[in-house]
Amino acid sequence: MSVRLQASCVASAHDDFEKYVRAEAHIKAMSRYDLAVFDFDGTLADSAAWFFGSLNEAAGRFGFRTTTEDERHALRRLDNREIVRRLRVPMWKLPAIARHMRRRAAENVDSIRLFQGIPEALTTLRNKGTRLAIVSSNSEANVRRIIGGPLAGQIAFYGCGASLFGKTSKLRSAIRHCGADRARTIYVGDETRDIEAARATGAASGAVLWGYAAAEALLGLNPTIVFHDVEQLGRM
């Protein structure tokens, strides 16, 4: 092979490699999901301290067991049905308790903040073309106030006011409203019921480890993605 031909081959190979690198970078910059649906409390919002304080107040009002800090750690390892059973909450009272908790959240909304890095992670996803939605037991008004105006306007769908065991229908509504393919949708949450809802709709599931449920409870359900820190959300 002549020197000139050899140099030409090397240059061509170099160009091909450069194109490959640029293509790979483009692929990595694209989200694998067209729609990312998020739970709110414990996933986007750091509301655990408020929640457990208000839960004991609700216990006195509605006649179920109060909890100590040690008991709360144990409850984090259980699913919601078992938590309801352990606290001796009558099932027929659950809707009234949920309404009460939403009202209490509205009264204390200024004390609840997003986890550090959440606005940046959600903005990164939007910049990659991923649509965003929220499915939560909290009210839409509370969620919007805590998120704040500019970011709240980036959310394509709010499925709020979900019952304790009613997130699946809200998640289906989010997928339908956004015209998304279930195979390219992920529901990200911090409780076992979030993983179960994602599975019931045929969407991918994401489990965050900074929320209410203990890591072993979430990992035992084999979520599609496990998020160890907030920054990972923007990279999915």
Where exactly are the structural domains of the chain?
31-46+112-235, 49-110
pLDDT at 198: 97
Three-state secondary structure call for residue 182: helix
How many other C-beta atoms lie within 10 A of the C-beta of residue 184? 16
137 close to 163: Cβ distance less than 8 angstroms: yes
- Of the candidates 202, 158, 159, the one whose C-alpha atom is nearest the C-alpha of residue 184 is 202
Tell me which fold the domain 31-46+112-235 belongs to: Rossmann fold (3.40.50)
Beta strands in the chain (DSSP E): 35-38, 45-46, 113-114, 131-135, 155-159, 185-189, 204-208, 225-227
pLDDT at 164 over 70: no
Q: Are 175 and 203 in contact (CB under 8 A)?
A: yes
Cα 118 versus chain centre, distance: 11
DSSP 57-123: HHHHHHT-----HHHHHHHTTS-HHHHHHHTT--GGGHHHHHHHHHHHHHHTGGG-EEPTTHHHHHH
pLDDT at residue 9 in the model: 44
Confidence of residue 143 (pLDDT cuts 50, 70, 90): very high
CA-wise closest residue to 95 among 137, 39, 126: 137
Residues 117-128 have a mean pLDDT of 96
pLDDT at 22: 39
Spatial separation of the C-alpha atoms in residues 105 and 72, rounded to whole Å: 20
Q: What's the pLDDT at 140?
A: 95
Residue 13 has pLDDT above 80, yes or no: no
Q: What is the pLDDT of residue 75?
A: 84
CB-side neighbour CA atoms (13 Å) of 235 = 10
Q: Would the pLDDT of 181 be above 80?
A: yes
Is pLDDT at 7 greater than 70 in this prediction?
no
| Residue pLDDT, tens place only, 16-45 | 434 333 333 333 444 689 999 999 999 999
